[in-house]
Amino acid sequence: MSKSQQETIWRVVFPSGDVGLDESFRIAAAPIYGSGRAGGSAVTNEILHSWVKDRTALEVPAGHVYSTGSYYNAFPAAYWAQWTNVQNVTLRMQVSGEAVITVHRSDSRAQDHVVSTVAVTPESSPDTVEVAVPISGMHEGGWLWFEVAAVGSAPVVLSDAVWLADVPANRNLTASLAITTMNKPEWCVRQFNLLANMADMNLIDAIYVVDQGTKLVTEQDGYTEVKARLGDKLRVIRQGNIGGSGGFARGMYEVEQHNESGYALLLDDDTVLEPESISRAIAFANHCAKPTLVGGNMLFLSEPTRLCALAEVFNRKRVFWTTAEGTPKFDDLAARPFLETRYLHKRTDADYNAWWMCLIPVETIRRIGLSYPFFIKNDDVEYGVRAQQAGYRTVTVPGVCLWHQSFVDKDDILDWQAYFHVRNKLIMGLLYSRLPWGGDLFREMMRASMSAAVKMRYSAVTLHQMAVSDVLQGAEHIGSILETRLPEIRAARAAEDDTHTVPFDELPDELLVKSRAEAESAASSGVKALLNQLRPPRRNMHTVIDGYVEPQHAYWYADDAEAGHVISRHAPDVEHALDGLDMVAKNASEHWQVMARMDSAVFVNKEANTGILLWRRPLTAFTRLAKVSVLYARLAFNWRKYQSAYRKEFATLVSPSWWERYFRG
């Protein structure tokens, strides 16, 4: 290809304009775009952000260095080398001022290799710098990036830096966006404006918004104005609440039926896109050797440099989704230099990508169907596994991303979503497990029910019973209750004492003092924890609590000298109640160990300054666990029969004709 025919596949961009939520957000996010230094010292985020001139231009002060060695602006060469037809790339940029440009390459072990060094002199400035780099041997791992050193007495301006491909794309397709929303119209309008202001709208044929709420997108302030800007590309569809799976099924359906686009780009409503990610995802998909689902990473809105997961996989033995081996969860990308974040440099393969952002070829939709009617939970996992079985790979590409509300402080395993966690995991086992009785599935399910009981969340065990009971009624039953089951779940849960939230000052502030040895001798096994749960509780458990519990942390007061005595916290709010307490569990996976030693606790909501009084009820725990155990046993003993039935009905439940019963309403 001639230089004029080379295609831009990766632009280097900076957090300016409408990226993120506000200026403070963009400052906090600066480290994922690049880093700066003077001498041997790194500059602050505030200084780094002050160098940004606009979306594609940066001014590096004299004596300073700017590096694109970062999550968002480095080029993930390993993924392009492995999955696309691109085997050589060219870096092109405009440089004004006296500078030294150094191009770097890493390998799968995060070792740094200098590819090229180019000097820009005052006589040649402004200059177009071009460096060709082969990537054909980088499929195991490695990134490309560059540094700009302002070596003269004046600042250097870097602009229009791009990575170019020297081969034509395998396909030249565009995308339609599919957003599912439920009572978050302000988020949608923000996203629309971001797209109108900063996305390449030549790549976007339509924006389908499936509105399943009562707070309508079309009635939100600012909608009329942004509708005028986006015109006929913005298409809002009203339908009843059939969950995220129903909303995304409708989005897929509309994109396929209108036949305008080669891809459907699924997006959550409560997100903030990095709009350049759309261009990157489409470029990658177009260059892939085979039609490929291209996934985007999630970073936290509350911590803009914290990555949810680099890639996720499906464990068939446990019927569980998890982060890919060797990669952490919730890692802060700003916590260490780029080359010291070693796991980033080895190419990591995914089995699926969550639907906060996932680009799906329309060809795939036509061949394997729409989402399964899970309502919520597992629909994205199931679709990725299904696509994989049909020969379509999912590639989660670093540097394709958005920001989403954090999952860390959510408690959805124990709230109303407990029903969907259990029901849909069982269905995933029926559909995809290759092991007798789903491998470790029933052990995991019993552990989940026992854990809920130990945590005194008996409402969750009730929802587990409802979930297994529905699975036993068959696949068509699951589809038939898509609109009706959620109100019944909420009603069943509302009848339980462990769901009643009250203002914090109405909850007990009398606290039983523990010995430090009690924390160390907390239950070490599920059986021991359950046996502790079944012993008679103390009589004053409704007025004297053992501790406080959050979605992640648990606290109690430990003092060997005062153990067994009661103290009063006199706490006007949650924060004061937790002051001076001992943290006895650092994450939710440790809760059962310490809560097995509690007779009562307050589950706290810091943001709302509210809480739920939980107390131990041995008879309730025993009877509900017995009931759900019987249901699990029924399913296990008839596993092959149910597996055959669910698989037989599967193609029907993901077909457009089946879903139309809900779309026409």
Nearest one of 519, 515, 507, 502 to 576, comparing CA atoms: 507
- Return the structure tokens found at 555: 């606290």
Active-site hit among 211, 380, 440, 498: 380
**How is residue 408 annotated by DSSP?**
T
One-letter amino acid for residue 452 of the chain: A
Pairing of strands 144-150, 99-106: antiparallel
Helix (H), strand (E) at residue 59: strand 57-60
Q: Are 404 and 21 in contact (CB under 8 A)?
A: no
Q: Render 630-662 in DSSP notation, one character per residue.
A: HHHHHHHHTHHHHHHHHHHHHHHHTSHHHHHHH
User: How many other C-beta atoms lie within 10 A of the C-beta of residue 18?
Assistant: 18
Tell me: cis bond preceding 503? Omega within 30 of 0 counts.
no
Nearest one of 604, 627, 481, 502 to 551, comparing CA atoms: 604
Return the half-sphere exposure (C-beta side, CA atoms, 13 A cut-off) of residue 85.
Answer: 15
380 is catalytic: yes
- Return the structure tokens found at 136: 């054909």
One-letter amino acid for residue 313 of the chain: V
With tokens 């952002």, the residue in question is 357
CA distance 455 to 464: 15
With tokens 């509300």, the residue in question is 405
Q: Label residue 456 left, alpha or beta by phi (over 0 means left) and psi (-120 to 50 means alpha).
A: left
Q: List 144's β-bridge partners, or say none.
A: 75, 105
> Which are the catalytic amino acids?
380
